[in-house]
Amino acid sequence: MAGHQGRRMMDKVRAQYERWIYPRPVEDLEAWVAGGGFSIGDARDFGDVFWPATGYREGMNILVAGCGANQAARYALQHPTARVTGIDLSEASLAHEEKLKAKHGLDNLTLRRMRLEEISGLGETFDFIASSGVLHHLPDPLAGLTALGGALDIDGVIFIMLYGRYGRAPVYMMQELFRILGATDQSDEDLALVKATLPLLPEKHPLRTYAARSSDMKFDAGLVDLFLHKQDRPYSVGEVLELTEDAGLVFQAWLEPMYYNPDSSVPENHPLYHRLDELPDAERWRAVELLGGLHSRHDFCVCRADRPPHSYRIDFGDPGFPDRAVPLLRGSALAPAAAGKPAVLSGPRIPPLTLPPALAAMFRTIDEARTISECLAAIDLSIPPEELHRHGLRFFRSLWRTGHVAFRLKDPP
């Protein structure tokens, strides 16, 4: 988008967030955390995904690019040894962040009002950058991501959340409806029209499925953000990968891989699984996105192109990978089962898996110290070694694809 036109659009976006503060302001971060408040993409929670060779490191330099009303203060509270910088266009949002900074004594937090595209003006590089729900509101998302990449340390990671094209289709239907109706000012009258219209939707309208899992439907600024936004574009898997490449960065991982792989939704003995499994990663991800159809956001991480690949790449095609990769549990646990009976593996935000006894035995070898090869060597099953190795690798790959494990990578020999 041309420079002048882009600035005008961002002025409109800024005006929206000055009036309609988003997300809903949290008044007490400590109470929010104690109550189970969770933000996907946290540097510590996903440290083994972002930095498989080292895990999360204390004392990082963190940038929250588009911090909204709460996110930078939350990072500063939950990462007390980190230096946290939060930037945003909205003075109203930053004012609430300042309030949280004072309330919780967050001396490690710096707040700046600035455009994401101007981040080079800070004169710093960052170990971790969080940009959740921001790039898709920019007139030029590529310029925004390129700017973030320019501020990234060589071993740094950018966590990104972008709207999903297919899962948010009902939202864009409603956005178009309200544009046709002339509700383009984000006024109280426009919001009242939205609230009066939504209950009239047919019982099987696709928005009702979306609304059942959207917290934005529960407060006024969320409704404005959903249905009356001035600048809002979604992405398919292919468009996510294209944006990353065009910004000169490398796609690293999906944070919720179960949405992009068939292992939790398609039986392994089904012909569709075989077709999907034969595809290159990018094509498989694209196909599973279309198969699922309801995923309304993409949570993923990217890194610099000159970052050493051995420090982050999860590659089951590498013959040396099983000797380097240490499986780490991501909150999953195996329910007790009677001898010879299947056991159920479950974890937070992850569909359960039913494991036959042999696979349950493989899972129980995970102690977060053994490599995959060492786990398989510890199994006492009457299976030829080559067959055990082949089935074992597929099993650990499936655990990774469904989000039950991450991997710590040892240095290559």
Q: Is the predicted pLDDT of residue 2 greater than 70, yes or no?
A: no
Lowest mean pLDDT among 216-230, 304-318, 346-360, 397-411: 346-360
Same domain, residue pair 49 and 162: yes
215 within some domain:
yes
Domain CATH number, residue 395: 3.90.930.60
pLDDT: which is higher, 153 or 7: 153
Same domain, residue pair 75 and 105: yes
How many domains would you assign to the chain?
A: 3
Q: Is the predicted pLDDT of residue 126 greater than 60, yes or no?
A: yes
386 within some domain:
yes
Q: Which structure tokens are listed for 64? A: 């929250």
Same domain, residue pair 243 and 134: yes
316 within some domain:
no
Q: Which pLDDT score is estimated for 37?
A: 80
Read off the pLDDT of each residue in 3-15 and give the average, rounded to a whole number: 83
Same domain, residue pair 263 and 205: no
Same domain, residue pair 120 and 207: no
Same domain, residue pair 146 and 45: yes
Q: Which pLDDT score is estimated for 218?
A: 94
Q: Which pLDDT score is estimated for 339?
A: 82
Same domain, residue pair 38 and 132: yes
Average pLDDT along the chain: 95
Q: Which residues span the domain enclosing 211?
A: 169-227
Q: Is the predicted pLDDT of residue 7 greater than 90, yes or no?
A: no
385 within some domain:
yes
pLDDT digits (tens, 9 = 90+) for 30-82: 999 998 887 889 999 999 999 999 999 999 999 999 999 999 999 999 999 99
Q: What is the pTM of this model?
A: 0.95
